[in-house]
Amino acid sequence: MGHRLKVLHVPYTYFPDPVGGTEIYVRSLVANLARSGVTSVICAPGASARSYVHAGVQVHRFAGRHSEWPLEFWYDEGDSIAAEAFAALLALEKPDVVHVHAHTTGVSLRLASKVRAYGVPMVFTYHTATVSCETGGLLRWGHTPCDGRMDASRCCACNLARLGMPRAFASLVGRAPQGVGRIVEKCGLRGPAWTALRMSALLGRKHAAIRAFLEIADVVVAPSQWVASLLEANALPAAKVAVCAQGLVRHPSSDLRKPLAAIPPLRVAVLARLDRSKGVHVLVEALAASRDLDVVLDVFGVRQPGEPGYFETVSRAITLDPRIRLCSAVPHDEVPDLLARYHVLAVPSQIMETGPLVVLEAFAAGIPVIGSDLGGIRERVIDGRNGLLVRAADRGAWAASLSRLIASPGMLQSLSRGITAPPTMEGVSAKMEKIYRALTSPSAVRAPANRTTCV
């Protein structure tokens, strides 16, 4: 087994606070690493500084800046207060490796620079498109998959269009020299129009910070092939990238090859955060336009802070359709057994996902997936073999896919037979430990220090 490693994991948040897929991944990774003798500590931003134990693992929360943030702060090298608080915890815990699972104002270039200054290797996992995409979805103009290349002019135009500016005008503003934005900033001009003129310069600053952050990392983990391609498009050396897909946390207690109940009605489950990016509204609207579909749709929604009014709009639409139920979110450990009660899982994401983990959970339960033809969903769902792929925002296509399954029970059974057992977190843990040990071996060669000024 060799030297007993100590790894400090840095996610965006952590239990018992509301969490997402990244934190579920981290919790499972930590549990599996412990079985092979690797000690893990969690260090995550929080509303206040505190330390506690969760599921037998030491957790530290560090606080950052609480005052009102100027616009520039969101595009800068990160929160210096949070970075200093993290540095103190780094010195306290003395890890062999730091594994960063987020890139935010709190988990930033300044924080990564503290890791470099301390002198231990850093691993970074690109869990979500929000790492490098200002819109958060990596969809050009909101609908076409983007290669993810960070280009201030192009990204500026796309972001301004997302905010409501006509595309042609957004493209024109995006081509404005970044120097214009810097002059606007220097003059202290404020307001929507001036902010639009500054956007290219702001994104140029943010992209520089992201590139420096990735440069500090000794290994960058890509959970999907499309993430590896994105990193390549941004000139990250291939030798620095490790592709390691997500793994299943727990198999269901029921048999993977359970017999399917008769249809109709077609029992469909959705497990998603109630946010526009997850696309629950697309599925609800598809059913509203197809009243004859014999479907039971259960939406297990997680409500988190997000777009104002979205939850109210979706829940109101659900109450108007007796075929749809809005259900409380279930504990993650119960998800595989829950899914075994349905014919199919729907994943109507409107963004490029690096996973999502729920696809693997559906396959473990032996049920196929109808998913958006994007990102990690496209990599895991093989159209016509273990599920169906649908154009993400095409409500008619979603309704048509559901109709096909209702009309052809044999297709549903065929898709179920096409499912293979998904990878597990035990395998992911073994790959991560191998990376950690390679970085900490006496023969490991560290990258030269980066030209950053925020240590």
Mean confidence (pLDDT) of the chain: 91
Mean pLDDT for 55-71 is 88
Buried b or exposed e, range 141-179, using 16+ CB within 10 angstroms: eeeebbebebbbbbbbbbbbbbeebeeeebbebbebebe
CB of 358 closer than 8 Å to CB of 335: yes
Residue 266 belongs to what H/E stretch? strand 266-273
Neighbours of 69 (CB within 10 A): 13
pLDDT at position 454: 30
Alpha-carbon distances of 437 from 40, 101, 239, 420, 432, rounded to whole Å: 14, 18, 16, 31, 9
pLDDT at position 226: 96
Is the torsion defined by CA of 150, 158, 163, 317 positive or negative? negative
Instruction: Flag whether pLDDT at 80 surpasses 90.
Output: yes
Sole residue written with tokens 């559906």 = 362
Instruction: Flag whether pLDDT at 251 surpasses 90.
Output: no
Q: What are phi and psi of 112, to 5 degrees?
A: -60, -35
Q: How far apart are CA 66 and CA 182, in angstroms?
A: 26
- Burial group, residue 311, by CB count within 10 angstroms (0-12, 13-18, 19+): middle
Mean pLDDT for 313-341 is 91
Instruction: Flag whether pLDDT at 255 surpasses 60.
Output: no
- Residue 298's SS3 state is strand
Mean pLDDT for 161-182 is 91
Q: How far apart are CA 416 and CA 427, in angstroms?
A: 24
Instruction: Flag whether pLDDT at 220 surpasses 90.
Output: yes
Give the 3-state secondary structure percentages of the chain, helix then strand then coil, rounded to 5: 45, 15, 40
Mean pLDDT for 112-123 is 98
370-382: per-residue pLDDT in tens?
999 999 999 999 9
- Residue 197's SS3 state is helix
What pTM does this model have? 0.89
Reported confidence tier of residue 21, pLDDT bands at 50, 70, 90: confident
Reported confidence tier of residue 306, pLDDT bands at 50, 70, 90: low
Mean pLDDT for 386-396 is 97
CA angle 425, 376, 209 (to 5 degrees): 90
